Structure 1
Amino acid sequence: MPVNPPPAPTLSGDLLTIHRLLQSPAQIQRRLRTIQDMRFIADQVLTQRYRSAGGAVLYEVSEPIFNTRPIEAVSPGSEYPKDVTAEGAAALAAVSKWGQATRLTDERIKRNARPGNELDRVLRKVVNTVIKHIDTITMSAVASAVTATQAAGDDWVASTATILRDIELAVADIEDLQMGYRPDTIVMSNTKYAYLASDEKIANLRQRETRDNPVYGGEVEVIGGLVVVKAPLSVLPSDDVWILDSMQLGGMADEAEVDPGYTVAEMAVQVQSERLARQDGWEVWGRRITVPVIQEPAAGIKITGTNPA
């Protein structure tokens, strides 16, 4: 006679499920998909995707969008004047394999009332460690390549701060280059976001009678047409604010081929596990084989002077 509701699974059954999961790359991949809060800042800032060949990627830096010869009036029946399309400076970047391993013992699995939580915790730590390092080297590369700056009218803590004007002026500086750049992203620390979200001048410009304002638990996702990307200060080279065209600035060059035994998530992190029979445990490691590529340094600008003196 069927039991309703069905009984809870036994602990031994849970343990067997977790061990089978660790042996299956496909099941690990499904587990990674459930970790929704992990996302690379690097992939939001550098949205282009490059394919590496032989462990490196060849690309052009600051490719001109105009020809050097001006256009001319063409008489009927005459040939059009010709020009040679200008090319950017060639650059080469070598991909690196960034990764880390950790151990998950049988004792940790079976002593948790929900053994799957231990696996999730291990996967989260491994992937988060990879994400933090990739984001750090990516933002360092962005800061080194983007040399244009726009001084803030006042620091963003002061009552006389003009945060929205600072942002719009920085956008104008990029667009005035007439290089086809369209700024779409603003990157700042969590602290700078707090100043932005609580700025009274910006609050007065927000739509009234709406529940998505920060005071009700909502977030400032877009300001001045720019997608707001918050980053921990630990991954930023400085506590400044960057505005950029994420479609033009550059991209991540990942080594797309997956070696045997690995599973790869949408976030491009490759994960594998191995049974350590004599040590009663598992070794789980993750990696990403990639390099940030900054192709159009002029597609970004840094707002300086936002910190109190």
Structure 2
Amino acid sequence: MPGAYPPSGPSLSGDLLSVHRLLQNPTYLQRRLRGIPDLRFIADKVLTQRLRTSGGAVAYEIGEPIVNSRAIRAVSPGAEYPRDSPADGTAALAKVSKWGEAVPLTDEKLKRSVYMGDEVNRTLRKAANTIITKVDRLTTTAAASAITATSAAAQTWDNASALLFRDVEKAAAKIVDANQGYRPNTIMMSTTKYAMLVTDPAIAALRKREDSTNPIYGGEIEKLGKYTIVATALANLPSDDVWIFDDNELGGMADENEVDPGYATMDNNLQFKVIRKESRDAWDIQCRRITVPVVLEPAAGVKITGTGSLG
């Protein structure tokens, strides 16, 4: 027998009340967000420094030398030391942008959704992932485009004669030989290139045997030697190449992270606000990040070319 439409709301009114309390309280909202595992930016793994903005922009220097321009000389007894001025990098200015959107969540959807109270989690996750995707693409593209030094791969990475680990070490050596104090420690690549890396027989032969961290047992390769692996979708990268860099020196995210009224702010500077729309029996969930990626030391990275386009 057909039922009446619209269907009646759930009888678990106590659960519904807890959802509404969550939506109206930024502190509860922040706690809920901490429990959602998707809220991790690749951007913050690539540009790890935390920069502060002032007046909607950040001033910085590109390629600051680690030595002064004047060569030192021997100082005679009683003589004055030769004077020099600290060497500066190229001055630059970056304007922050507010990347965000608002999504509706109606009372009817909260009451009648098959996901019940989890509808809030699903809405928060979708909004967060949308902002994450945009900021990740901006950041990885900025970092990859700023790195101009290259190192050629021995073979394309899908070739049986490829030397993946050697390609990485050769590129890292080029960064170290710049003598600017860089310590390459991160590899950025597409998930397809990661698939080639994780299944490379030469790398597998160097790993511990019968270990649960091996990919064949369900583990992942998060470290290759001293390098942390950052894999992302090819759509987030300007090309299907591989980048090696010093994540402590390459750059940072310049965030305007002052807490505005009603916003719940996460550790990664993702901000949420829930606004009640009484006239529509609904809520607006706003998500944003006010930021700009800043590359400070382009010479801290090298692009490995010739790995092949595998996407």
How many Å separate the matches in 2 of 1:32 and 1:115? 17
Q: Which residue of 2 aligns with 1:11?
A: 12
- Tell me whether 1:55 sits opposite 2:35 in the alignment: no
Residue 169 of structure 1 aligns to a residue whose secondary structure is: helix
1:36-65, Cα deviation, whole Å (9 max, x unpaired): 232111111111111111100001111111
How many Å separate the matches in 2 of 1:173 and 1:299? 10
How many Å separate the matches in 2 of 1:185 and 1:77? 49
Q: Which residue of 1 aligns with 2:5?
A: none
Deviation for aligned residue 1:10:
5.7
Residue 194 of structure 1 aligns to a residue whose secondary structure is: helix
1:131-164, Cα deviation, whole Å (9 max, x unpaired): 0000101111112211111111101001011000
How many Å separate the matches in 2 of 1:301 and 1:215? 30
Alignment of 1:91-170 (within 5 A): 91-112=92-113, 115-170=116-171
In structure 2, give the amino acid aligned to 1:202: I
Is the contact between residue 275 and residue 283 of structure 1 (CA under 8 Å) also seen in structure 2? yes
How many Å separate the matches in 1 of 2:110 and 2:68? 64
Is the contact between residue 171 and residue 183 of structure 1 (CA under 8 Å) also seen in structure 2? yes
How many Å separate the matches in 1 of 2:286 and 2:116? 19
Is the contact between residue 38 and residue 125 of structure 2 (CA under 8 Å) also seen in structure 1? no
Q: Which residue of 2 aligns with 1:235?
A: 236
Q: Which residue of 2 aligns with 1:287?
A: 288
How many Å separate the matches in 2 of 1:215 and 1:73? 61
Q: Which residue of 2 aligns with 1:6?
A: none
Q: Which residue of 2 aligns with 1:204?
A: 205
Q: Which residue of 2 aligns with 1:219?
A: 220
Q: Gapped runs of 5+ residues in structure 1? A: 1-8
How many Å separate the matches in 1 of 2:114 and 2:140? 40
In structure 2, give the amino acid aligned to 1:250: G
Q: TM-score, normalised by structure 2?
A: 0.93
Deviation for aligned residue 1:205:
0.9
In structure 2, give the amino acid aligned to 1:207: K
Aligned alpha-carbon RMSD (Å): 1.5
Query: Runs in 1 of length 4+ with deviation above 4 angstroms?
Result: none
In structure 2, give the amino acid aligned to 1:172: A
How many Å separate the matches in 2 of 1:122 and 1:237? 30
Residue 303 of structure 1 aligns to a residue whose secondary structure is: strand
How many Å separate the matches in 2 of 1:58 and 1:132? 26
Q: Which moved more, 1:126-135 or 1:278-287?
A: 278-287
How many Å separate the matches in 1 of 2:97 and 2:244? 27
Is the contact between residue 186 and residue 227 of structure 1 (CA under 8 Å) also seen in structure 2? yes
Structure 1 residues 308 and 94 mapped into 2: Cα distance closer, same or farther (>3 Å)? closer
Q: Which residue of 2 aligns with 1:255?
A: 256
In structure 1, give the amino acid aligned to 2:54: A
Deviation for aligned residue 1:237:
1.5
Q: TM-score, normalised by structure 1?
A: 0.94
Is the contact between residue 103 and residue 284 of structure 1 (CA under 8 Å) also seen in structure 2? yes
How many Å separate the matches in 1 of 2:17 and 2:210? 53
How many Å separate the matches in 2 of 1:158 and 1:184? 25
Q: Which residue of 2 aligns with 1:21?
A: 22
1:255-277, Cα deviation, whole Å (9 max, x unpaired): 02111111101121110011122
Is the contact between residue 11 and residue 110 of structure 1 (CA under 8 Å) also seen in structure 2? no
Structure 1 residues 115 and 267 mapped into 2: Cα distance closer, same or farther (>3 Å)? farther
How many Å separate the matches in 2 of 1:34 and 1:47? 23
How many Å separate the matches in 1 of 2:264 and 2:103? 16
How many Å separate the matches in 1 of 2:67 and 2:19? 58
Deviation for aligned residue 1:109:
1.1
Is the contact between residue 47 and residue 252 of structure 1 (CA under 8 Å) also seen in structure 2? yes
Residue 115 of structure 1 aligns to a residue whose secondary structure is: coil
Q: Which residue of 2 aligns with 1:274?
A: 275
